[in-house]
C-alpha cells in the first residue's frame, strides 16, 4: 500500500488526477452554458494529458498506476467532452453525429475489449492514439468555434484507426501490458515470449 501512495504522488500521476478532477469542472461550465470556459478547461485537461506522459518518460517516473490513471483520465475526459458538447452545442453535435459516434465508440470499444479480456483498463498509449487525441482536441475547438467541421471529421477517422489498432493489440497480447506503442510492438512482444 505504501508503494501505491508513493506512486500516486509522483508528478505525472498527479497530472492524470488533475485531468480526472477536471470532469466536474467541465460539467459545471457545460450546465451553466459557459462555452468559452468549457473550451479553456478542456484545453487545460488535454495539456495535462500531454504533460503527464512527457514528465513520466523524461524523468523516469513511469508506473503501472500512472498508465492506468492516464487511461481513466482520457476515458473520463472524452465522455465529459461529448456530454458537454451536446449540452452546449446540441445542433452541431446532431449535425456531426456520425463523427461524434465514431470518436465515442473508438474509446469505448477498445476499453470494453480490454476489460473483457484482461479484466482491467488497458493503458497502451499507442502512437496512433496520441496523434488521434491531439488532432481531436484541435478539431473539437475548430468545430465548436464554428470555424470548420472538416478537421473533426478527419479526427473521427484517425480515432477509428487508433481504436482498431488497440483492439488488435488486445487480441494479440496474452496478458495485460502497458505502454505498447503499436500493433507491431505487440506482435514483437508476443514473438519474444
H/E run at residue 73? helix 64-88
Give tens-digit pLDDT for 142-155. 999 899 999 999 99
Mean of the per-residue pLDDT values of the chain: 89
The residue behind cell 501505491 is: 4
Residue 90: predicted pLDDT: 97
Report whether pLDDT(192) > 90.
no
The residue behind cell 503501472 is: 64
The grid coordinates of residue 33 equal 452554458
b/e code 33-58 from CB counts within 10 Å (16+ = b): eeeeebbebbeebbebbebbbebbee
Query: Where are the extended beta strands (E) located within 25-158?
Result: none
Report whether pLDDT(47) > 70.
yes
**Pairwise CA distance, residues 48 & 20, whole Å:** 10
146 CB-near residues (< 8 Å, 6+ apart): none
- Tell which wins on pLDDT, 178 or 6: 178
Residue 186: predicted pLDDT: 92
Report whether pLDDT(107) > 70.
yes
**Segment of 54-63, 99-108, 131-140 carrying the highest mean pLDDT:** 99-108
Report whether pLDDT(161) > 90.
yes
Q: Tell me the average pLDDT across 73-79.
A: 87
If pLDDT is split at 50, 70 and 90, which confidence band does 13 have?
confident
If pLDDT is split at 50, 70 and 90, which confidence band does 8 have?
low
The grid coordinates of residue 147 equal 470555424
Whole-prediction pTM? 0.84
The residue behind cell 468555434 is: 145
Report whether pLDDT(193) > 70.
no
Least confident of 60-64, 90-94, 117-121, 160-164: 60-64
If pLDDT is split at 50, 70 and 90, which confidence band does 4 have?
low
Amino acid at each position: 500500500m505504501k508503494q501505491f501512495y508513493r506512486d500516486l504522488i509522483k508528478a505525472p500521476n498527479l497530472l492524470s488526477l488533475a485531468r480526472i478532477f477536471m470532469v466536474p469542472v467541465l460539467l459545471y461550465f457545460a450546465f451553466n452554458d459557459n462555452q468559452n470556459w468549457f473550451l479553456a478547461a478542456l484545453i487545460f485537461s488535454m495539456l495535462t494529458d500531454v504533460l503527464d506522459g512527457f514528465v513520466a518518460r523524461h524523468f523516469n517516473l513511469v508506473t503501472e498506476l500512472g498508465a492506468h490513471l492516464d487511461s481513466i483520465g482520457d476515458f473520463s475526459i472524452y465522455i465529459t467532452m461529448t456530454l458537454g458538447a451536446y449540452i452546449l452545442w446540441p445542433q452541431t453535435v446532431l449535425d456531426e453525429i456520425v463523427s461524434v459516434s465514431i470518436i465515442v465508440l473508438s474509446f469505448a470499444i477498445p476499453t470494453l475489449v480490454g476489460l473483457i479480456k484482461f479484466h482491467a483498463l488497458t493503458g497502451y498509449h499507442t502512437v496512433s492514439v496520441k496523434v488521434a487525441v491531439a488532432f481531436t482536441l484541435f478539431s473539437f475547438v475548430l468545430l465548436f468555434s464554428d470555424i470548420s467541421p472538416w478537421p473533426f471529421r478527419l479526427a473521427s477517422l484517425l480515432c477509428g484507426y487508433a481504436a482498431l489498432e488497440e483492439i488488435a493489440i488486445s487480441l494479440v497480447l496474452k496478458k495485460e501490458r502497458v505502454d505498447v506503442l503499436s500493433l507491431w510492438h505487440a506482435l514483437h512482444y508476443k514473438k519474444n515470449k
